[in-house]
Amino acid sequence: MAEAPFGLLAELTHRCPLQCGYCSNPVELVRREAELPTEDWLRVFDEARALGVLQIHLSGGEPLLRNDLPALVTHASSLGCYVNLVTSGVGLSRDRLQDLASRGVDHVQLSLQDATRAGNDRIAGIKAFDRKVEAAGFIRDLGLPLTVNTVLHRQNLDNVAGIIAAAEEMGADRLELANTQYYGWALRNRAALLPTSTQLAAAAPVVTAAQERLRGRMEIVYVIADYHEAHPKPCMYGWGARQLTVAPNGDVLPCPAATVISTLEIENVRDSSLHDIWHSSPSFGAFRGFEWMKDPCRSCSRKEVDFGGCRCQAFQLTGDAAATDPVCSLSPDRSTVDLILSAPAATTITMRKMS
């Protein structure tokens, strides 16, 4: 039997005021009328806690667009879970945050698209920078821990020093600098988002120096751009190992991008319990452990380090979710990634919108 999951990513909605072209949510977004109602989310939280979940991350889209967010926070907190609100900051007034904090929000994760007002608003597709700065002030005034999250790509990577400075100014306890992962809208815009090797080489020492300078004051997490690496990231620390995601329509996913694997049989909380899905479903069992692996992964000494890489990325690039992640230098499909890296860059980005 699989060990209990540690965290639940509750994607309450795909609706969002931002239009970021790097969004990893599906291109076909879940419509409002297909979202789980309040009572189903309350049951999901009950089942998650019974399963062993200790952290509930309320995300989207923009969770502030759910009118029942206060009730969901109250219930998640009453179960003894650590409640993390993942937000764009748009719509987060002082009074609203104070109410959510009184109901049990323990931590806020605030997105930042770039270091400056002009850059941030261009990438976000709306005027949002000032509202983010204001939201950070509310979070700081209420004494809540703050994580600032910035997705890095060709359009903002040259500004990484400024992004770090902006997070400092916001009073962040933690800064996540995560190079884009190419699913959903980000895959559609990959040619415009892929950073150059020169950009990555210039950014790395800036991040390292900031990590040293800010040690003990602001933690900086840097997620590598794995297309440019010799080995893939340890995606999710193994398939179905630590966390699970519930999508706005109730689909239960071993990782947030798992819907890209069209051959995967995905179950829904409307039909099955989280306990049964976590422990017994074909989707969660598909790539757990190491038995599913083919060579070179099966005989590789790194298999307990990177778990064969990303199954979603393997499927998108090879059509086989059990293939070695093509990012790996040992993969017979590594040339696919090299060809992508050598392709001409695009100049325009398709902005994410609800259709």
What's the CA gap between 355 and 351, in Å, rounded?
A: 11
Pairing of strands 7-11, 243-246: parallel
Sign of the C-alpha dihedral, residues 234, 239, 241, 246? positive
- The single-letter code of the amino acid at 266 is I
Q: Tell me which DSSP letter residue 235 carries.
A: G
Contact 259, 14 (CB under 8 A): no
Amino acid at residue number 156: N
CA–CA gap between residue 119 and residue 154 (Å, rounded): 12
255 appears as a binding residue in the annotation:
no
| Beta strands, E only, the chain | 7-11, 55-59, 82-87, 105-111, 146-152, 174-179, 219-223, 243-246, 252-253
Q: Pick from 203, 88, 188: which is nearest to 156 by CA?
A: 203
Quick one: which of 200, 118, 191, 90 has its CA closest to 152?
Answer: 200
Answer yes or no: is 20 a known binding residue.
Answer: yes
CA 28-60-264 angle, to 5 degrees, is 50
In what side-by-side order are the strands of the sheet with 252-253?
219-223, 174-179, 146-152, 105-111, 82-87, 55-59, 7-11, 243-246, 252-253
> In b/e form, how buried is each residue of 87-118, taking b as 16+ CB within 10 angstroms?
bbbbebeeeebeebbebbbbbbbbbbbbbeee
Q: Is 297 annotated as a binding residue?
A: no
Could you list the residues known to form a binding site, using ranges. 16, 20, 23
Could you list the residues known to form a binding site for [4Fe-4S] cluster, using ranges. 16, 20, 23
